[in-house]
Amino acid sequence: MRTALISDLHGNIVALRTVLEQISRTRADRIVCLGDVATLGPAPRQVIETLAELGCACVLGNHDAFLLDPDLIRQYTETPVIVEAVDACRAALGSAELDFLRTFQATLDLEMDGATLGLFHGSPRSHMEDLLATTSADALDQALGQRRATVMAGGHTHIQMLRQHRGTLLVNPGSLGLPFETYVSGGPPRILAYAEYATVDAVNGSVDVTLHRVPVDRGELIAEVARWDNPLQGYLLQQYKS
Protein backbone atom coordinates (compact mmCIF):
# COMPACT_ATOMS: atom_id res chain seq x y z
CA MET A 1 0.00 0.00 0.00
CA ARG A 2 1.49 3.33 -1.08
CA THR A 3 -0.09 6.61 -0.02
CA ALA A 4 1.06 9.89 -1.56
CA LEU A 5 0.71 12.93 0.70
CA ILE A 6 0.39 16.39 -0.80
CA SER A 7 -0.07 19.58 1.20
CA ASP A 8 -0.10 23.36 0.92
CA LEU A 9 -0.89 23.52 -2.80
CA HIS A 10 -1.77 27.22 -2.60
CA GLY A 11 -3.28 27.59 -6.05
CA ASN A 12 -0.21 26.35 -7.94
CA ILE A 13 -1.63 24.31 -10.81
CA VAL A 14 1.77 24.04 -12.55
CA ALA A 15 3.30 22.33 -9.52
CA LEU A 16 0.22 20.17 -8.95
CA ARG A 17 0.26 18.80 -12.51
CA THR A 18 3.99 18.12 -12.24
CA VAL A 19 3.60 16.18 -8.99
CA LEU A 20 0.55 14.23 -10.21
CA GLU A 21 2.55 13.10 -13.25
CA GLN A 22 5.32 11.79 -11.00
CA ILE A 23 2.87 10.12 -8.60
CA SER A 24 1.24 8.41 -11.58
CA ARG A 25 4.62 7.03 -12.69
CA THR A 26 5.37 5.70 -9.20
CA ARG A 27 1.91 4.11 -8.96
CA ALA A 28 0.61 5.32 -5.62
CA ASP A 29 -2.52 3.50 -4.46
CA ARG A 30 -4.08 6.69 -3.19
CA ILE A 31 -3.45 10.40 -2.77
CA VAL A 32 -4.42 12.40 0.31
CA CYS A 33 -4.31 16.19 0.47
CA LEU A 34 -3.44 17.78 3.82
CA GLY A 35 -5.00 21.18 3.12
CA ASP A 36 -4.35 24.79 2.09
CA VAL A 37 -5.33 24.17 -1.50
CA ALA A 38 -6.35 27.45 -3.16
CA THR A 39 -5.11 30.70 -1.62
CA LEU A 40 -1.92 32.69 -2.36
CA GLY A 41 -1.42 31.21 -5.84
CA PRO A 42 -2.58 32.05 -9.36
CA ALA A 43 -4.95 29.16 -10.16
CA PRO A 44 -7.26 28.47 -7.20
CA ARG A 45 -10.20 27.31 -9.28
CA GLN A 46 -8.13 24.93 -11.43
CA VAL A 47 -6.49 23.38 -8.36
CA ILE A 48 -9.85 22.79 -6.67
CA GLU A 49 -11.31 21.32 -9.87
CA THR A 50 -8.33 18.99 -10.23
CA LEU A 51 -8.65 17.76 -6.63
CA ALA A 52 -12.38 17.21 -7.09
CA GLU A 53 -11.71 15.15 -10.24
CA LEU A 54 -9.13 13.07 -8.37
CA GLY A 55 -11.68 12.27 -5.68
CA CYS A 56 -8.95 12.15 -3.05
CA ALA A 57 -9.60 12.66 0.66
CA CYS A 58 -8.75 16.17 1.88
CA VAL A 59 -7.91 17.63 5.27
CA LEU A 60 -9.03 21.15 6.16
CA GLY A 61 -6.13 23.60 6.32
CA ASN A 62 -6.17 27.02 7.94
CA HIS A 63 -6.29 28.77 4.56
CA ASP A 64 -9.21 26.59 3.48
CA ALA A 65 -10.99 27.67 6.65
CA PHE A 66 -10.16 31.33 5.90
CA LEU A 67 -12.06 31.04 2.63
CA LEU A 68 -15.11 29.69 4.42
CA ASP A 69 -14.96 32.12 7.37
CA PRO A 70 -13.66 35.57 6.30
CA ASP A 71 -13.12 36.74 9.88
CA LEU A 72 -10.97 33.78 10.91
CA ILE A 73 -7.80 34.93 9.14
CA ARG A 74 -7.36 37.79 11.59
CA GLN A 75 -6.77 35.24 14.36
CA TYR A 76 -3.77 34.12 12.32
CA THR A 77 -2.34 37.25 10.68
CA GLU A 78 -3.06 40.96 10.26
CA THR A 79 -0.56 41.30 7.39
CA PRO A 80 -2.53 43.38 4.84
CA VAL A 81 -1.17 41.73 1.67
CA ILE A 82 -2.04 38.23 2.95
CA VAL A 83 -5.54 39.25 4.07
CA GLU A 84 -6.14 41.00 0.74
CA ALA A 85 -4.82 38.03 -1.23
CA VAL A 86 -7.13 35.62 0.59
CA ASP A 87 -10.10 37.95 0.08
CA ALA A 88 -9.29 38.16 -3.64
CA CYS A 89 -9.10 34.38 -3.87
CA ARG A 90 -12.49 34.02 -2.21
CA ALA A 91 -13.99 36.49 -4.67
CA ALA A 92 -12.57 34.48 -7.58
CA LEU A 93 -14.24 31.25 -6.47
CA GLY A 94 -17.83 30.18 -7.06
CA SER A 95 -20.26 28.41 -4.75
CA ALA A 96 -19.30 24.99 -6.16
CA GLU A 97 -15.63 25.47 -5.22
CA LEU A 98 -16.50 26.70 -1.72
CA ASP A 99 -18.92 23.79 -1.25
CA PHE A 100 -16.07 21.43 -2.14
CA LEU A 101 -13.91 22.97 0.59
CA ARG A 102 -16.72 22.32 3.08
CA THR A 103 -16.25 18.57 2.52
CA PHE A 104 -12.72 18.69 3.96
CA GLN A 105 -12.25 16.98 7.34
CA ALA A 106 -10.30 18.29 10.35
CA THR A 107 -8.40 14.98 10.70
CA LEU A 108 -8.28 11.62 8.96
CA ASP A 109 -7.32 8.14 10.20
CA LEU A 110 -6.42 5.54 7.57
CA GLU A 111 -5.35 1.90 7.63
CA MET A 112 -2.28 0.79 5.70
CA ASP A 113 -1.50 -2.95 5.56
CA GLY A 114 -0.68 -3.47 9.22
CA ALA A 115 0.05 0.20 9.95
CA THR A 116 -2.07 3.25 10.77
CA LEU A 117 -1.85 6.74 9.31
CA GLY A 118 -3.07 9.79 11.25
CA LEU A 119 -3.48 12.93 9.16
CA PHE A 120 -4.06 16.60 9.99
CA HIS A 121 -2.92 20.03 8.75
CA GLY A 122 -1.00 21.80 11.54
CA SER A 123 -1.55 19.38 14.41
CA PRO A 124 -4.45 17.13 15.47
CA ARG A 125 -5.76 19.90 17.71
CA SER A 126 -5.28 22.96 15.46
CA HIS A 127 -4.76 23.67 11.77
CA MET A 128 -2.74 26.75 12.78
CA GLU A 129 -0.11 24.97 14.91
CA ASP A 130 3.51 24.57 13.78
CA LEU A 131 5.24 21.22 14.38
CA LEU A 132 8.96 21.38 13.60
CA ALA A 133 12.13 19.33 13.91
CA THR A 134 13.00 21.64 16.81
CA THR A 135 9.67 21.33 18.67
CA SER A 136 10.34 19.88 22.12
CA ALA A 137 9.22 16.36 23.01
CA ASP A 138 6.93 17.69 25.74
CA ALA A 139 5.30 20.15 23.32
CA LEU A 140 4.81 17.35 20.79
CA ASP A 141 3.15 15.21 23.45
CA GLN A 142 0.61 17.96 24.00
CA ALA A 143 0.10 18.72 20.31
CA LEU A 144 -0.27 15.12 19.12
CA GLY A 145 -2.59 14.03 21.92
CA GLN A 146 -3.12 10.57 23.35
CA ARG A 147 -4.17 8.74 20.15
CA ARG A 148 -1.04 7.86 18.20
CA ALA A 149 -0.75 6.23 14.77
CA THR A 150 2.22 4.41 13.24
CA VAL A 151 2.73 7.47 11.03
CA MET A 152 1.30 10.92 11.76
CA ALA A 153 1.50 13.55 9.03
CA GLY A 154 0.66 17.22 8.65
CA GLY A 155 1.79 20.19 6.60
CA HIS A 156 1.33 23.91 7.36
CA THR A 157 4.98 24.95 7.93
CA HIS A 158 6.03 24.53 4.24
CA ILE A 159 9.15 22.73 5.52
CA GLN A 160 9.70 19.02 4.88
CA MET A 161 10.36 16.90 7.97
CA LEU A 162 10.71 13.29 9.04
CA ARG A 163 11.07 12.75 12.76
CA GLN A 164 10.60 9.85 15.18
CA HIS A 165 8.71 10.72 18.37
CA ARG A 166 8.11 8.06 21.02
CA GLY A 167 7.78 5.35 18.38
CA THR A 168 5.61 7.34 15.97
CA LEU A 169 7.01 8.62 12.68
CA LEU A 170 6.08 12.30 12.33
CA VAL A 171 6.05 13.51 8.71
CA ASN A 172 5.64 16.83 6.95
CA PRO A 173 5.49 16.38 3.16
CA GLY A 174 6.42 20.02 2.68
CA SER A 175 4.58 22.38 0.36
CA LEU A 176 3.60 21.38 -3.15
CA GLY A 177 2.81 24.95 -4.19
CA LEU A 178 4.97 27.28 -2.07
CA PRO A 179 7.98 25.48 -0.56
CA PHE A 180 9.99 27.68 1.80
CA GLU A 181 13.78 27.79 1.88
CA THR A 182 13.70 28.14 5.68
CA TYR A 183 11.04 28.20 8.36
CA VAL A 184 9.50 31.64 8.84
CA SER A 185 7.20 32.95 11.52
CA GLY A 186 5.39 36.00 10.23
CA GLY A 187 8.13 37.23 7.91
CA PRO A 188 8.28 37.01 4.10
CA PRO A 189 9.64 33.62 2.98
CA ARG A 190 11.93 32.80 0.10
CA ILE A 191 9.92 30.62 -2.30
CA LEU A 192 11.71 27.82 -4.15
CA ALA A 193 10.91 26.70 -7.71
CA TYR A 194 10.20 23.05 -7.01
CA ALA A 195 7.33 21.04 -5.55
CA GLU A 196 7.41 18.85 -2.46
CA TYR A 197 5.40 15.81 -1.40
CA ALA A 198 5.85 12.52 0.47
CA THR A 199 4.99 8.86 0.05
CA VAL A 200 4.26 6.36 2.79
CA ASP A 201 4.65 2.65 1.95
CA ALA A 202 3.37 -0.12 4.22
CA VAL A 203 3.74 -3.88 3.75
CA ASN A 204 2.72 -6.23 6.56
CA GLY A 205 3.38 -3.55 9.16
CA SER A 206 6.75 -2.52 7.72
CA VAL A 207 6.72 1.21 6.94
CA ASP A 208 8.87 3.40 4.68
CA VAL A 209 8.51 7.18 4.36
CA THR A 210 10.09 9.09 1.47
CA LEU A 211 10.27 12.85 1.02
CA HIS A 212 10.25 14.04 -2.61
CA ARG A 213 11.30 17.25 -4.35
CA VAL A 214 10.36 17.74 -7.99
CA PRO A 215 11.71 20.53 -10.25
CA VAL A 216 8.96 22.75 -11.65
CA ASP A 217 9.27 24.69 -14.89
CA ARG A 218 10.16 28.21 -13.79
CA GLY A 219 8.98 29.72 -17.08
CA GLU A 220 5.55 28.14 -16.68
CA LEU A 221 5.34 29.41 -13.11
CA ILE A 222 6.19 32.96 -14.19
CA ALA A 223 3.70 32.87 -17.06
CA GLU A 224 0.93 31.62 -14.77
CA VAL A 225 1.59 34.30 -12.16
CA ALA A 226 1.89 37.04 -14.80
CA ARG A 227 -1.75 36.38 -15.82
CA TRP A 228 -2.94 36.66 -12.22
CA ASP A 229 -4.66 39.71 -10.73
CA ASN A 230 -3.82 39.48 -7.03
CA PRO A 231 -1.92 41.54 -4.42
CA LEU A 232 0.75 38.83 -4.22
CA GLN A 233 1.49 38.82 -7.94
CA GLY A 234 4.54 41.11 -7.76
CA TYR A 235 6.05 39.25 -4.83
CA LEU A 236 5.74 35.82 -6.47
CA LEU A 237 7.10 37.10 -9.78
CA GLN A 238 10.12 38.48 -7.94
CA GLN A 239 10.64 35.13 -6.20
CA TYR A 240 10.42 33.03 -9.36
CA LYS A 241 12.61 35.38 -11.41
CA SER A 242 15.40 35.62 -8.83
At residue 228, what are phi and psi to the nearest 5 degrees?
-100, 130
pLDDT digits (tens, 9 = 90+) for 2-11: 999 999 999 9
pLDDT digits (tens, 9 = 90+) for 70-105: 999 999 999 999 999 999 999 999 999 999 999 999
**Domain limits for position 151:** 2-241
pLDDT digits (tens, 9 = 90+) for 106-134: 999 999 999 999 999 999 999 999 999 99
Q: CA 174 to CA 164: how far, in whole Å?
A: 17
pTM: 0.97
pLDDT on residue 161: 98
Q: What is the mean pLDDT of the chain?
A: 96
Hey, how many other C-beta atoms are within 10 angstroms of the C-beta on 166?
A: 10
pLDDT on residue 181: 96
Q: Residue 196 pairs with which residues in a beta bridge?
A: 213
Domain count across the chain = 1
Q: What is the CATH number of the domain that holds 48?
A: 3.60.21.10
Nearest to residue 165, comparing CAs of 187, 181, 148? 148
